[in-house]
A and B are shown apart, each in its own frame.
Chain A
C-alpha cells in the first residue's frame, strides 16, 4: 500500500508507525547509525517542486536503512524537454525502482503516479492537499515531548487554505486523539469545513490561553496566499506569534513550525530560538519517522 494521505488512516496504523519510529530513533543514536533493513531495495526521490529539508530527510532515512537512493529534482530532469509526468514516472519505474517518494506542486500528482505505475508511492507533499510524513513527524515530536497526544489542544495558525501541512496534521492528530483548532482570517480559512474534525476561528488571541501546541504556518505566497490579506504588517498584528502572545500561552505549551520559517512574520525571531520551540526536534525526528514509513511499506516485501 502506498502512503498518500492521512485522511481516513486508522489510529492503529498511525501508532504502528510511531512505535517503529521509536526504534529507529534508537538506531540513529548508536555509534554506527545504519541497519540493513532495506538492503537491495531501490528508492527514487522525485522532487518536482523545490524542497531542501524533506528531500534530504528522505535521503537520510533511506540510506540509514541501507536502501539505494536515486534523487531527481525538476530543474535537472527531462521535464524541461517536454516529457510528461507519466512518461517520467514510467521511465523511472523501468529502472527497477521499488518505491517512489514524490513531491509535486499539483494536488493528486503522487496519486496519479500510484495509478500509472506498480511502484509504491510515498507522498512528500502535493499542492495544498497533503504532506502525510510531515504530520507523522509532528505527531511523533508531540508524543515524545508530552508522552502522548490524547487530549492535546492544538491550534494550527495561518494559511490553512493553502496548506498541505494543515490538512495532513488535522486528520492525523485528531485520529490520535488531539483537539485541533484552525486559526486564520476568513480569506485563509478553508471554504467549506463543516465535516472536518476541527473548530475554526479567526481569533488567535482568544485561543492562546487554552492551547498546548501552537502550530505556525508559512504564508504560501507561491499558491496565492499573499494576495488575500491587506499587508504583511497587518497579518502579523493579528496572527504573528510575538513575544507578547507567547507570554500569554500556558507555561507547558510548545511551538511547532514545519519550516521554512519567515522570522518576524508568523514567528518572532526570539521565540523561534526558545527552548519551547521544537522546530529542530521536528527536523531531527523526521528522519526516524520516514525510516519507519519506508520500512513499513517496503520491509515486508
Chain B
C-alpha cells in the first residue's frame, strides 16, 4: 500500500489545531505524528510531501452541483466536473438529478456513482428526483432510489408545489434517512422573472423575482416538515427573511438544514446592471442587506453549509441578451477562496465546518467531513488561507463565473481523495495544460 507523509501543515483535529505530520497509508489516515522527526520506523518508506505553511483539513463536500451528465455533456460531464471539484478542494459532490433524462430511478443513480468512481477524482453522490421526471405530479421511484443508496432528494431547478405530494414524499423517505431538499421558488410569484425584484429590476424594466417567492415556499415546507418529522433541507437560501424562518423552525424542533451559495455571499443585484448574462441565476442575486444577513447566518450556524450550485453553461449559451440566457454560474473551483475571503482567516475552522463537516453530516457521508485523526478515510485538503489569487481559467468545461478577475484570499493547494492525490497546485500552473486524469 502506498504511504504518504504529509509534513508540516497545521492540522485540524476535532479539538484543536497544531503543526503535525500526517501519515496516510492506502485510503486511510494511519497516524498523526508530532513533527520532531521521531518515529523514524513509521515514517520509513513513505513519500514525503512538504505542506509547511498550509492548513490540512477534511476534504470539502458540496451538496449541490450540476454535472450535466447524462444529456448536456457540452456544458460539463462527470470527468470535467470531477477535475473542477478536485481543484476546488472537494472530495465529495452531490450531483443534482435534473439531467436529461432526470434521475428518478435506481439504475440511473448507480450509473452516476459508477462514473464517478471510474474517473476517481472525487466521490460523486447522486441525488434523486422527488417526482417522476421532475413533473411535480407523482412520486419518483423512491424505494428504488433508496435501495441504490440515494439519500438526497430534490427536483432542483423546479419547486415541488403540490403540498399533498410533498407531504407524502417527506413521510415516505423521512423515516429512512432521506432528506427532502427544496428549490424554493413559488412559480406564480416568480413568473417571468429574471432577477431580484427591486431597485435594479425596476430601473431595467425587467420582471423581478420577489424574496417572497422563496419565503412562502419555505414557510409551507417547514410546516410540512414539522407535520411529518422528516429532515428538510433548504437549497441555496438567498435572502435574510428565509434565515429567520429557518431559525424559528429549528427552535421549535423542526429537522431543518440549509445551504447558501458563495455568489450569494459576495454579489448583489447591482451585478445585473452590466447586462452580462453571467449574473443570471435562480435564486437571483439580491440586496446588500441580504448578503450581510446570509454571511452572518453562515458564521453563526443558522445556515449549516455552503453549496456551490455549480451550474455550467457554454459560453455561446450565455452570450445572449439577459432575458434569453440560461440561469446559473459555476462555483466548484472558487468556492473555498470565496468563502475564505468572506469569513476571513480567523474563521477557518468555521469554513471547514460549513464546507465539509456539516454537508457530509446532512448527506450521511461517513467517509467525508471528518476532523483529522488516526483511522479516518483519507479525504483531505491542504489550503493556504492567506494566499491571494485572481481566478482566470477553469477546469470546468464552462467559464460562467462571476468570480473571474475578482481578487480573492485563500487557495486550495492539495486535495487527497481516498489516499490518492487528486489535485496539486504546485504541479499544475495552468489548467489548460493539464491532461485528462
From 136 to 195 in chain A, residues with beta carbon under 8 angstroms from any chain B beta carbon are 161-164, 167, 190-195
B198 and A224 form a contact (CB under 8 A):
no
B206 and A128 form a contact (CB under 8 A):
yes
When distances are taken between beta carbons in the complex, the residues of chain B under 8 Å from A167 are 203, 205
Q: Check if B427 is an interface residue, CB within 8 A of chain A.
A: no
- Check A192/B202 contact, CB under 8 A, given A108-B275, A111-B275, A224-B192: yes
In this complex, what residue of B is CB-closest to A116? B319
CA distance A101 to B39 in the complex (A): 77
When distances are taken between beta carbons in the complex, the residues of chain A under 8 Å from B205 are 107, 127-130, 161-164, 167
CA distance A194 to B320 in the complex (A): 30
Q: Check if A85 is an interface residue, CB within 8 A of chain B.
A: yes
Q: Check if B323 is an interface residue, CB within 8 A of chain A.
A: yes
- Check A7/B203 contact, CB under 8 A, given A85-B321, A112-B275, A191-B208: yes
Q: Check if A289 is an interface residue, CB within 8 A of chain B.
A: no
B202 → chain A closest CB, angstroms: 4
Q: Check if A109 is an interface residue, CB within 8 A of chain B.
A: yes
The residue from A107, A163, A191, A224 contacting B197, defined by CB atoms under 8 A apart: A191
A84 and B323 form a contact (CB under 8 A):
no
CA distance A206 to B233 in the complex (A): 51
B198 and A107 form a contact (CB under 8 A):
no
In this complex, what residue of A is CB-closest to B201? A191
Interface residues on A, range: 20 to 34
B320 and A85 form a contact (CB under 8 A):
yes
When distances are taken between beta carbons in the complex, the residues of chain A under 8 Å from B203 are 7, 167
A220 → chain B closest CB, angstroms: 10
From 196 to 214 in chain B, residues with beta carbon under 8 angstroms from any chain A beta carbon are 197-199, 201-208
CA distance A205 to B205 in the complex (A): 26
Q: Check if B371 is an interface residue, CB within 8 A of chain A.
A: no
A107 and B321 form a contact (CB under 8 A):
yes
- Check A84/B316 contact, CB under 8 A, given A195-B199, A224-B192: yes
In this complex, what residue of B is CB-closest to A127? B205
When distances are taken between beta carbons in the complex, the residues of chain A under 8 Å from B199 are 192, 194-195
Q: Check if A106 is an interface residue, CB within 8 A of chain B.
A: yes
B198 and A109 form a contact (CB under 8 A):
no
B376 → chain A closest CB, angstroms: 50
- Check A107/B320 contact, CB under 8 A, given A195-B199, A224-B192: no
Q: Check if A104 is an interface residue, CB within 8 A of chain B.
A: yes
From 112 to 170 in chain B, residues with beta carbon under 8 angstroms from any chain A beta carbon are none
B206 and A107 form a contact (CB under 8 A):
yes
A101 → chain B closest CB, angstroms: 17
CA distance A184 to B276 in the complex (A): 31
Q: Check if B423 is an interface residue, CB within 8 A of chain A.
A: no
The residue from A106, A111, A116, A191 contacting B323, defined by CB atoms under 8 A apart: A106
CA distance A171 to B316 in the complex (A): 34
The chain A residues found within 8 Å of chain B, CB to CB, are 7, 84-86, 104, 106-109, 111-112, 115-116, 127-130, 161-164, 167, 190-196, 224
